[in-house]
């Protein structure tokens, strides 16, 4: 049977675009549908604008710290409107780059929502196209839990990038990495931040030492973190929103007209027409095998809509592995072991491999932990009590490094290099035999005894 396209991609986020371009490079005829802006969550409502805001939030500390080094800093002020305009201008620039990349790759872009008519046919607005293979790459979206009364008064993490005015007071609901990052961003810009979480610690799923170190630092920097608060409600207040906390000790927190709900994301698969295919949905996500294949043999899925590991680089790697396998003659599958990740909090954190709890559960008493906690040289002259934490988890049976974790300046940049060693199966002896770069914080990873 003849089809309009060899591959049709639904969703032009990071994973979808990477797949489309790679397949086209192999000579496939590729189409892609996107009803929103090119680049998906990462470029438009996630990694890129968030990281730019992280940079902006650090300047208040830089101004203060520079005085210890002899600099005289005059009166400073922060202009939210100028910052948010600059951030969104950069997003617009990136959208144009993505369009040019797809055009240069001869990928046909359809600016509308794609929906399955049948397993080989996609409706895009009033048009219908057919494809031999179809890739679902529609990403995810934030949710407002309906278990919280008055949650409609809250905004989501997507909305923070479009606030016209900086909130003087902000309540953040949720202790995941998105909530933690925005708490630190807003705090650094001068907003009074309260973060409300259900458990006793932020960042569930990360190493416990990392979680404790970041939480303590956030509180030291002036963020109020309310723990073990499962019952909350939002109500209209006299000058904004009142957050009602119910429990042994009831409390009302007055916040501005905005309250950020950072309570998770779900796959964006509603109204996709999956019922017109044999594609299976399990726990709200597209079910796939090790090669990203669905129950419909010619339909595949990558990225957040599969709810495996919801990270931009993972979606890109999944998509490229799919294109290499089906259009490049290089059969390969995505490896989910030792994927590094970072939390752009203040202080920053990054990690690769197993947490201590995961390692002990898997290897028991064979685990040995190496820790180092110190004040980096940068903070000595300004006399600021900022600490860096580094941690290695080692299997004493093999001497293999199973996990590396860091909290401190440059954590993401440092762990990216360490991740290569961990991915290759480096041993503690390999780390010990590596000469450190002195003076640097990174050298601590090769000097821990």
Domains and their CATH numbers in the chain = 5-142+266-327 (3.50.50.60), 151-263 (3.50.50.60), 341-446 (3.30.390.30)
Contact between 156 and 264 under an 8 Å Cβ cutoff? The reply is no
Residue in the block written with tokens 């807003």: 186
Residue in the block written with tokens 């680049």: 39
Crossing angle between the packed helical segments 80-104 and 47-66, to the nearest 10 degrees: 140
Q: With CA atoms as reference, report the closest residue to 150 among 176, 167, 173.
A: 173
Residue 282 and residue 229: Cα distance in Å, rounded? 30
Secondary structure of residue 416 in the 3-state scheme: helix
Q: Catalytic: 162? A: no
Task: State pTM to two decimals.
Answer: 0.95
Q: The sheet that has 224-226: what strands, in order across it? A: 155-156, 260-261, 169-173, 192-196, 224-226
Instruction: Give the model's pLDDT for residue 310.
Output: 94
* 25 phi and psi angles, rounded to 5 deg: -60, -30
Instruction: Give the model's pLDDT for residue 147.
Output: 87
Crossing angle between the packed helical segments 356-363 and 208-220, to the nearest 10 degrees: 160
Instruction: Give the model's pLDDT for residue 232.
Output: 93
Residue 65 and residue 83: Cα distance in Å, rounded? 22
Contact between 173 and 357 under an 8 Å Cβ cutoff? The reply is no
Residue 35 and residue 44: Cα distance in Å, rounded? 13
Q: How far is CA 285 from CA 16, 281, 303, 313, in A?
A: 17, 5, 10, 19
Contact between 223 and 193 under an 8 Å Cβ cutoff? The reply is yes
User: Is residue 324 within a helix (H) or strand (E), and if so which, with residue range?
Assistant: helix 312-327
Handedness of CA 399, 404, 408, 410 (dihedral sign): positive
Tokens of 266: 């779900």
Which one of 120, 141, 326, 438 is the catalytic residue? 438
Q: Kindly give, in sequence order, each residue whose CB lies less than 8 Å from that of residue 249, ignoring residues fewer than 6 positions away.
A: none
* Residues lower than pLDDT 70 in the chain: 263
* 252 phi and psi angles, rounded to 5 deg: -120, 125
Instruction: Give the model's pLDDT for residue 223.
Output: 98
Instruction: Give the model's pLDDT for residue 2.
Output: 95
Residue 310 and residue 157: Cα distance in Å, rounded? 15
Contact between 203 and 177 under an 8 Å Cβ cutoff? The reply is yes
Residue 335 and residue 427: Cα distance in Å, rounded? 20
Q: Kindly give, in sequence order, each residue whose CB lies less than 8 Å from that of residue 23, ignoring residues fewer than 6 positions away.
A: 6, 7, 30, 323, 326, 327
- Rounded to whole angstroms, the maximal C-alpha distance in the chain is 74
Residue 325 and residue 7: Cα distance in Å, rounded? 13
- Strand runs labelled E in 264-385: 265-267, 281-282, 285-286, 299-301, 341-343, 349-353, 367-374
Instruction: Give the model's pLDDT for residue 247.
Output: 76
Helices and strands of the chain, counted as H and E runs? 10, 24
Paired with 261 in beta bridges are 156, 173
Instruction: Give the model's pLDDT for residue 264.
Output: 76
User: Is residue 327 within a helix (H) or strand (E), and if so which, with residue range?
Assistant: helix 312-327
């Amino acid at each position: 049977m003849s089809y309009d396209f060899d591959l049709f991609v639904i969703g032009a986020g990071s994973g979808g675009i990477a797949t489309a371009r790679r397949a086209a490079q192999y000579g496939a005829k590729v189409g892609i549908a996107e009803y929103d802006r090119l680049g998906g969550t990462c470029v438009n409502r996630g990694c890129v604008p968030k990281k730019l805001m992280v940079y902006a939030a650090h300047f208040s500390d830089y101004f203060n710290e520079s005085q210890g080094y002899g600099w005289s800093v005059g009166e400073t002020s922060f202009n939210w409107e100028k910052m948010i305009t600059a951030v969104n201008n950069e997003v617009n620039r990136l959208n144009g780059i993505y369009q040019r990349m797809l055009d240069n790759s001869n990928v046909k872009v359809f600016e509308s929502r794609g929906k399955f008519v049948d397993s080989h046919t996609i409706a895009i607005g009033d048009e219908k196209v057919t494809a031999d293979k179809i890739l679902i790459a529609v990403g995810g979206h934030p949710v407002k839990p309906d278990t919280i009364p008055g949650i409609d008064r809250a905004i989501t993490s997507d909305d923070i990038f479009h606030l016209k005015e900086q909130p003087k007071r902000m309540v953040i609901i949720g202790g995941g990495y998105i909530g933690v990052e925005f708490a630190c961003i807003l705090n650094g810009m001068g907003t009074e931040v309260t973060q409300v979480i259900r458990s006793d610690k932020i960042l569930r799923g990360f190493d416990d030492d990392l979680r404790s170190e970041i939480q303590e630092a956030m509180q030291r920097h002036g963020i109020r973190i309310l723990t073990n608060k499962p019952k909350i409600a939002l109500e209209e207040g006299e000058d904004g929103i009142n957050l009602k906390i119910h429990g042994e000790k009831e409390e009302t927190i007055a916040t501005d007209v905005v309250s950020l709900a950072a309570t998770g994301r779900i796959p964006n698969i509603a109204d996709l027409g999956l019922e017109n295919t044999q594609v299976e949905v399990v726990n709200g996500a597209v079910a796939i095998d090790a090669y990203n294949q669905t129950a419909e043999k010619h339909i595949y899925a990558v990225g957040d809509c599969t709810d495996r590991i919801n990270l931009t680089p993972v979606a890109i790697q999944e998509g490229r592995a799919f294109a290499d396998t089906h259009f490049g003659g290089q059969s390969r599958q995505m490896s989910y072991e030792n994927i590094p990740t970072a939390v752009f909090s203040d202080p920053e954190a990054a990690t690769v491999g197993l947490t201590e709890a995961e390692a002990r559960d898997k290897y028991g008493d064979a685990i040995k932990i190496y820790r180092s906690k110190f004040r980096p040289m940068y903070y000595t002259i300004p006399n600021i009590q900022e600490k860096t934490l580094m941690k290695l988890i080692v299997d004493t049976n093999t001497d293999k490094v199973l996990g590396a974790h860091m909290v401190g300046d440059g954590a993401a940049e440092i762990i990216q290099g360490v991740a290569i060693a961990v991915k290759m199966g480096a041993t503690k002896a390999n780390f010990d035999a590596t000469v450190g770069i002195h003076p640097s914080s990174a050298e601590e990873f090769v000097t821990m005894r």
